[in-house]
Amino acid sequence: MQRTAVNPWEWSLKLGYNQAETIEGISRHLICAGQTAVDAEGNPQHPGDMRGQISLALDNLEAVLAKADMGLRNVVRLGVYATDVDEALKNFDLLGMRFGPIQCAPPMTLLGVTRLAIPSLLFEIEATAAA
């Protein structure tokens, strides 16, 4: 798979994402449902703790990717939903710690929502991956 960043402006690079990417030579495409801070039985974890929820949601995303023989390096698009955008942004270093070392900056959208499917959840991340 060949990824080529498309950035008519560079401001998004400081925030850890590209404006767009062209993806060539893929043989598999994975569309992940939104991942949240739930345990293996689907029970919400870390109530009221945005940082804890982001960390567990990322763990869960990595588990889904691994089950498909992929990893964060394969992520080509992220959709992020947060009940408190400012609080989520304060903790976006968690995304940087995972995507930065592998030099992956997939296009991303962050949306503020009034609530998620389970009221105690604060953060949800969905991904599209390719290999």
Domain coordinates of the chain in residue numbers? 2-130
Higher pLDDT, residue 26 or 37: 37
Q: Mean pLDDT, to the nearest integer, of 75-85? A: 98
2 SS3 class:
strand
What mean pLDDT comes out for the span 16-40? 95
CATH class of 2-130: alpha beta
Containing H/E element for 124? strand 123-130
- Give the contacts of 9 (CB within 8 A, at least 6 positions apart): 19
Residue 8 has pLDDT above 90, yes or no: yes
Q: Are 19 and 4 in contact (CB under 8 A)?
A: no
Query: Residue 88, by phi and psi: left (phi above 0), alpha (psi -120 to 50) or beta?
Result: alpha
DSSP state of 72: G
Structural contact between residues 37 and 44, judged by C-beta atoms closer than 8 angstroms: yes
User: Model confidence at 15, in pLDDT bands (50, 70, 90)?
Assistant: confident
Strand order of the β-sheet with 108-112 is: 29-31, 123-130, 75-82, 108-112
From CA 12, how far away is CA 6, in angstroms rounded?
A: 11
Please give the model's pTM, rounded to 2 decimal places. Answer: 0.91
- Tell me which residue has tokens 């105690």: 120
